Structure 1
Amino acid sequence: MHAGSIRSPLTWFVHLSVLFLVVLWTLPTAGLFISSVRDKDQIVASGWWTALSTSTQNAIYRAPAPDKQVEENGEFVISGNVFEGGKGNVTAFGASSQQPAAYEAGATAELKDGQKLTVLENGDFRITSATAMEGTRGQRIFYTAAVPPRFTLDNYRTVLSAEGIGASFLNSLTVAIPSTIIPILVAAFAAYALAWMQFPGRSLILAVIVGLLVVPLQMSLIPLLKMYNEVGAFFGISSKGYFGIWLAHMGFGLPLAIYLLRNYIAGLPREIMESARVDGASDFTIFTKIVLPLSYPALASFAIFQFLWTWNDLLVAMVFLGTGNDELVLTGRLVNLLGSRGGKWEILTASAFITIIVPLLVFFTLQRYLVRGLLAGSVKGG
């Protein structure tokens, strides 16, 4: 066996580490998708890894109100099925929260006013009374059931049919696309100047940019908004609008963009720049004709990160756009769908997958540049 064909322990370690990271990220995503197509009751009862197995659920069903009763052979009857069109096997049931599993399936429970409740294994129930039943609310039926796997698209239908979801989708695109393109254009010019142009204070500017990488967004957001309001009042610009959020995202994205692009551009062959200058090319011509075409990997790498951040952003959008019905971005709309107390949290998984559709398209379109751009931007310098 050739010595070069034997892989070193370090190579195996790298491969296993990559495999571990892939599994670490893939499993939660798979679990999120499986949960998004499960029945909401099963999401509550069991984890996504049990999606293909029968689950045991404790549930409550409210029977129809007494105005739905019918008379059969001298008895007043209310009937139905606790599964409401689904399938399952009832193992026990009860008529009160203190004893939710007091009776086995098929048994008859004695209720108030001489009423009787029978729940069969297939979920069929029957409430009977010798006299007409009174009241405005139906009897609660507590039951324990073994329910087979159920998959549905109801969670997606709830999200996609929600009022205003289309407008919020367009709002997110209106925020994310310019907030990605503008920082790239500005950062590319700045990165070229810091990499190849000689001027006083260049090193100091680069040091400040590196320092800005660690400034938290939450700490600088309020001062930025105050300054923007003062400038906007001077020029007659509204504090709420897309222009403000574009500027905010540009400001927060520029330090990383300039640092990444500067390192990449500084590593381009010096001979190309010198040959272009000998031929009489200006800095602008060198930048547009040589540097930009060679910098696609780094530009695409930053575009992925910037788009993911701006697309999923909620805080900056709420501050600079507001929380009105017409200004909500997609993330804000989905938060509102969940309710103030998270009462519809079962649609959370479906909402998550809907929000990642566009970022996934961007990522898979530009991913071939990602690794090249990151590696080159992190190891090259000038």
Structure 2
Amino acid sequence: MDNIAGRKSGLSWAVNISVVLLVLLWIFPTVGLFVSSFRTADQISATGWWKALFPTEQVVQLRTDDPDARVAEGDGFVLTGNLFGEEGGTLSAFGVSSRDVGAFAPGETADMGDGESMTVEADGSYTWRGNDEQISGRGQRIFVTTTTPPEFTTANYERVLFSGDRTDSMAKAFFNTLTVTIPATIIPILVAAFAAYALAWMDFPGRALLIAAIVALLVVPLQLALIPLLKFHNDIGIGKGYIGTWLAHTGFGLPLAIYLLRNYMVGLPRDIIENAKVDGATDFQIFTRIVLPLSFPALASFAIFQFLWTWNDLLVALVFLIDSSGDTTVMTRQIVELLGTRGGNWEILATAAFVSISVPLLVFFAMQRYLVRGLLAGSVK
């Protein structure tokens, strides 16, 4: 009785909750990456991205000035200065031992034993009293608890996009990725559209075998064809370049493209095609003036898949786009190099990663309304 028209299924709440959870699982990492790309390295190390809008409290280790600048006072010596230097700052607590980094409040005097003491004010100014042996060496280590206001910067993007250093800059890699992705998306769509129309509306011997072969190619692992295809490309002189990469992406994407478009075109009304043929239209005219405009949802659906795959691809780029000079390095490979050389610079990695996903996000949201329509094409009559 739950399936009666006008009544919702008893499992609808589970479906809704699942959808919400999936959306949140996708949104949270993306927002976190975006926020982290505008934060400094110190803030990323101190707190998570969800605390980016609030002041952060962190403990830093500072040292006093050169003990040689001490001044005699009575039977001992005094050294004064400011822990923050010219930059300035504010502290909420301090300590002289790593076992209790917040033992004293600003203005209190820490008794260090044997007549040695340390007084630190809120602005970082300190007074260190002791004898000649105590006020010596590299200076006294002091643990300071500071409160840092929220800070956002575009310096990470300036460094990633406009740095002259090939290791840091992703501007060249960004345009290299566009050079790979745009032709690798357009070429298979053009080829697959013609093939899908032929398999859907033209009668010729072996059509069923071709459809079966295309379905079989959908399950062939990409890795099996890499080495033979690279050898073939090298033999004909197109290996290690853009042309070889375009053809590789085209070949690997054609089975899905033909299968998707053919299923959609088969579902088009037969009367439209037959009436056009009665009016004297050729197959090419029917394809370009009737079938292609009606197949736009399926074309857009495949374009999303193909664009996202080629944009985020690393394996094919490493195999078919090898260049030691870095002139053809794509963004996925550039991020790998950043991970290898600057594994601790999280602000740079976060910025580079968000730059890499920004274009796919724009493409997906611009064309996502066609995605479901194209995927469901041909599933019902």
Deviation at 1:189, TM superposition (A): 1.0
Tell me which protein shows more helix as a share of its residues.
Answer: 1
Query: 1:261 aligns to what?
Result: 261
- Residues 1:81 and 2:84 aligned together: yes
Residue deviations 1:284-333, cap 9 Å, x none?
22111111111111111111111111122222223222253222122333
SS of the residue corresponding to residue 341 of structure 2 reads coil
Query: 1:18 aligns to what?
Result: 19
Equivalent pair of 1:210/1:259 in contact (CA under 8 Å) = yes
Deviation at 1:99, TM superposition (A): 5.0
Equivalent pair of 1:38/1:151 in contact (CA under 8 Å) = yes
Equivalent pair of 1:90/1:120 in contact (CA under 8 Å) = no
Q: How many matched pairs? A: 365
Deviation at 1:212, TM superposition (A): 2.1
For residues 361 and 4 of structure 1, what CA distance do their matches in structure 2 show? 38
Structure 2 vs 1, CA of residues 5 and 102 (structure 1 numbering), >3 Å: closer, same or farther?
A: closer
Structure 2 vs 1, CA of residues 77 and 280 (structure 1 numbering), >3 Å: closer, same or farther?
A: same
Query: 1:189 aligns to what?
Result: 194
Q: Which moved more, 1:45-54 or 1:185-194?
A: 45-54
For residues 29 and 212 of structure 1, what CA distance do their matches in structure 2 show? 34
Residue deviations 1:226-276, cap 9 Å, x none?
2211222xxxx4x22110110111111111111111111111111111112
Equivalent pair of 1:62/1:139 in contact (CA under 8 Å) = yes
Equivalent pair of 1:187/1:261 in contact (CA under 8 Å) = yes
Query: 1:334 aligns to what?
Result: 335
For residues 348 and 197 of structure 2, what CA distance do their matches in structure 1 show? 46
SS of the residue corresponding to residue 376 of structure 1 reads coil
Equivalent pair of 1:242/1:321 in contact (CA under 8 Å) = yes
TM-score (ref. length: structure 2): 0.80
TM-score (ref. length: structure 1): 0.80
5 Å-filtered alignment, 1:1-382, equals 7-61=8-62, 79-81=82-84, 89-94=91-96, 101=101, 104-106=104-106, 107=109, 119-124=120-125, 142-163=143-164, 164-232=169-237, 237=238, 239-322=239-322, 323-340=324-341, 342-377=343-378, 379-380=379-380
For residues 351 and 47 of structure 2, what CA distance do their matches in structure 1 show? 17
Aligned partner letter, 1:231: I
For residues 191 and 115 of structure 1, what CA distance do their matches in structure 2 show? 87
For residues 368 and 122 of structure 1, what CA distance do their matches in structure 2 show? 57
Fraction of identical pairs, as percent: 56
Structure 2 residue runs of 5 or longer lacking an equivalent are: none
For residues 182 and 117 of structure 2, what CA distance do their matches in structure 1 show? 64
Aligned partner letter, 1:212: L
Structure 2 vs 1, CA of residues 148 and 254 (structure 1 numbering), >3 Å: closer, same or farther?
A: same
SS of the residue corresponding to residue 368 of structure 2 reads helix
Equivalent pair of 2:173/2:331 in contact (CA under 8 Å) = yes
Deviation at 1:129, TM superposition (A): 9.1
Deviation at 1:14, TM superposition (A): 3.9
Aligned partner letter, 1:81: F
Deviation at 1:130, TM superposition (A): 8.5
Structure 2 vs 1, CA of residues 258 and 312 (structure 1 numbering), >3 Å: closer, same or farther?
A: same
For residues 339 and 127 of structure 2, what CA distance do their matches in structure 1 show? 35
Deviation at 1:225, TM superposition (A): 1.3
Structure 2 vs 1, CA of residues 71 and 189 (structure 1 numbering), >3 Å: closer, same or farther?
A: same
Equivalent pair of 1:83/1:123 in contact (CA under 8 Å) = no
Structure 2 vs 1, CA of residues 13 and 199 (structure 1 numbering), >3 Å: closer, same or farther?
A: same
